[in-house]
Structure 1
C-alpha cells in the first residue's frame, strides 16, 4: 500500500507541475492581452510592437487550445518563446 501511495504521489506531483506550467502560460497570455487593451497602454505602444504582441498572444492562446495535454516542458518552452518576443517590447514601454 505504501509503495502504491508513493507511486501515485510522484504521478500526482508530475500532473500538478504540468498544470502549473500550463496555468502560467495561460495567465501570462491573458494578462498581456488585457494590458494591451488598457487605453493607457494602447496609446503608448508602437503600432508595429502592438501587432507583434497581438500575434504572439493569439498564437499562444491557440496553441494552448490545441495542446491541452502537452507536457510540462512544452508549456515552459512555449512560454519562454513567448517571453522572448513580449518582454523586450514591454521593457520599451515601461522602461
Structure 2
C-alpha cells in the first residue's frame, strides 16, 4: 500500500510538472501576443521584429494545439526557443519605450 502511494505520488508530481510547464509556455506566448497588441508597443516596434514575433507566436500556438500531451522537457525547450527570438526584440523595445518616457 505504501509502495503504491509512493508510485502514484511520483506520477502525480510528474503530471503536475508537465502541466506547469505547459501553462508557463501558454502564459508566455499569450502575454507576448498581448504585448504586441498594446498600443504603446505597436507604434514603437520595428515592422520586421513585429513580423518575426508574430510568426513565432503563431507557430507556438499551433504547436501547443497539436501537442497537448507533450513532455515537460518539450514544453521547456519550446519556451527557451521562443525566448531566444523574443528576448532580444523585447529588450530593444523596452529601451525604446524607456527613452520616450
Task: Specify the TM-score bucket, using the shorter chain as the normaliser.
Answer: over 0.9
CA deviation string 1:24-51 (max 9, x = no partner) = 0000000000010011100010000000
Unaligned 5+ segments in structure 1 are none
Unaligned 5+ segments in structure 2 are 96-101
Tell me what 2:20 maps to. 20
Cα distance in 2, alignment partners of residues 74 and 35 from structure 1 = 25
Q: Runs in 1 of length 4+ with deviation above 4 angstroms?
A: none
**TM-score w.r.t. length of structure 2:** 0.93
Aligned length: 95
Alpha-carbon RMSD: 0.5
Tell me what 2:46 maps to. 46
Tell me what 1:87 maps to. 87
Shift of 1:69: 0.4
**TM-score w.r.t. length of structure 1:** 0.99
